Amino acid sequence: MENEFLNIVDKRINAAYEVPISQGTIRAMDLRKIKAGPDDFGLMTYDPAFMNTASCKSAITFIDGDKGILRYRGYPIEQLAEKCTFLEVAYLILFGELPTQAELETWIDNVTHHTMIHETTKKFLEGFRFNAHPMGMFISTVAALSTVYPEARNVLDPETRRLQILRLVGKVPTIAAYTYRHSLGFPYVYPDNELTYTENFMNMLWKMVEPKYRANPALARALDILFILHADHEQNCSANVMRAVGSSQADPFVATAAAAAALSGPLHGGANEEVLKMLDEIGSKDRVPAYIERVKAGQIKLMGFGHRIYKNYDPRARIIKWAADQVFEVTGRNPKLEIALELERIALEDEYFVKRKLYPNVDFYSGIMYQAMGFKPEIFTVLFAIPRTVGWLAQWQEMIEDPEQKIARPRQVYTGYEARDFVPIEKRGKPAPVAS
């Protein structure tokens, strides 16, 4: 709404200010004019971890965390997961509208023709130790693509950007699959252009000596749905990294690698792997109450629970639960599901979790489903990174095209020493002189 203002009175000097409010925000730079005196720098906000700071305007993803709503470009996640393929949703996220039939065919054809990686990049992967974590290999190899496509640095050119988007969306499944094959010591499988995005990924993961890999359609569809659910999630930690690195006009390969590095942490995308470790540690349903007690005592966190934005059931977790059932019909039920369901049941009734509004997030059930499909836990976060590459690229593209954006450079509140004189080495380490 226009013509809304915030009145601020600075009691230090009894000065009054009128600050415009727009879309529920005030501009932090408007506070700079609030000064205690002529030499004062002006007021800043202090917001560690960006708890209450909008760093950009974005038209990509909408979340209402209290109501548990997630929409891409206005479309509810439930409808997209039910009716679309992942590449259709990727097009929507990247370009703003659902594709027409012709647009979709061209898009799929373009992505499909960018799935190969250069043979030298393949050799680069071979340099990793046999037990290297797939996420470390993924991050490094995506960064290494920057050396293969030096023209990607031309980030202000829309056509160049579009080409790198195609390359990244096309190549991340190939890199992901190769990290997996490397860890198993299996030869790499080249992409098969006749297959869909997820079927081809499964082909590169699991094809052995058969002439043609045929993915189980139910499993391929379940993976496609998982990819849709993970495609974007507005200004999360890794999207923020993508924008921050991209804001220096670094190329999208290194920016994507940086975003993937942020994703790898256990509080972000790395949580899906941690959930499986946690379920292994618990071991059986009867040991759940004791585990919950340790969580409540603050000794450990319940992985796959809680979210900065969702203070309600994560809508993605609900859909994953449904997709997991479809997978279990093919693979048989993962015995860890019993433990997870019991954890959820107890946690949702317990005062500790209820008071803090802690609900299962996207990572709580995804690992159980991935494991049933045959994935090892170390690859789980890589599975998250494949579709999230689409979200990162959409956020990056939006940032580049936004005339209000500049190189990201937060302020700080300095809490260190005032100026002090250099101390020669022989005089260091002595107790500081006591002021008389």
* Chain CA centroid to CA 316, Å: 14
Q: Give, in degrees to the nearest 5, the angle at Cα 75 between 380 and 316.
A: 30
For 126-142, the DSSP string reads HTS-TT--HHHHHHHHH
Site string for ligand CMC, 231-270 (x = CB under 6 A): --x--x------------------------------xxx-
User: Is the distance from CB of 154 to CB of 160 less than 8 angstroms?
Assistant: yes
Q: What is the DSSP letter of 149?
A: -
Tally of CA atoms within 13 A in the half-sphere of 219 that contains its CB: 20
Site string for ligand CMC, 394-433 (x = CB under 6 A): ----------------------------------------
User: Is the distance from CB of 270 to CB of 322 less than 8 angstroms?
Assistant: no
> In this complex, which beta carbon is closest to ligand CMC, that of residue 145 or of residue 229?
229
Q: How far is the CB of 67 from ligand CMC (least distance, A)?
A: 17
307 catalytically annotated? yes
Of the listed 64, 268, 350, 402, which one is catalytic? 268
Q: How far is the CB of 298 from ligand CMC (least distance, A)?
A: 7
Q: What are the residues whose beta carbons fall under 8 Å from the beta carbon of 340, sequence distance 6 or more? A: 275, 279, 364, 365, 368
Other CB atoms within 10 Å distance of the CB of residue 325: 13
Of the listed 224, 251, 314, 363, which one is catalytic? 363
> In this complex, which beta carbon is closest to ligand CMC, that of residue 178 or of residue 305?
305
Task: Tell me which residues in 13-42 interact with ligand CMC (CB under 6 A).
Answer: none
Q: How far is the CB of 349 from ligand CMC (least distance, A)?
A: 15
Q: How far is the CB of 198 from ligand CMC (least distance, A)?
A: 21
Question: In the structure encoding, which two tokens stand for residue 374, read together?
Answer: 């045959």
Instruction: Write down the number of H helices and E strands in the chain.
Output: 17, 5
Of the listed 182, 230, 233, 307, which one is catalytic? 307
Part of the chain binding ligand CMC (CB under 6 A), chosen from 249-257, 285-293, 338-346, 359-367: 359-367
5 backbone dihedrals φ, ψ, rounded to 5°? -135, 155
232 catalytically annotated? no
Per the DSSP assignment, residues forming a β-bridge with 75 are: 72
Task: Tell me which residues in 273-332 interact with ligand CMC (CB under 6 A).
Answer: 295, 301-308
Q: How far is the CB of 385 from ligand CMC (least distance, A)?
A: 11
* Interface with ligand CMC, residue 345, by CB under 6 A: no
Other CB atoms within 10 Å distance of the CB of residue 40: 12
Q: What are the residues whose beta carbons fall under 8 Å from the beta carbon of 82, sequence distance 6 or more? A: none
DSSP reduced 3-state for 244 = helix
Closest C-alpha to 181, from 382, 367, 331, 363: 382
182 catalytically annotated? no
Size of the site for ligand CMC (CB under 6 A): 20
> In this complex, which beta carbon is closest to ligand CMC, that of residue 154 or of residue 312?
312
Q: How far is the CB of 314 from ligand CMC (least distance, A)?
A: 7
Task: Tell me which residues in 361-390 interact with ligand CMC (CB under 6 A).
Answer: 361-363
Catalytic residues: 268, 307, 363
Interface with ligand CMC by CB under 6 A: which residues?
233, 236, 267-269, 271, 295, 301-308, 356, 358, 361-363
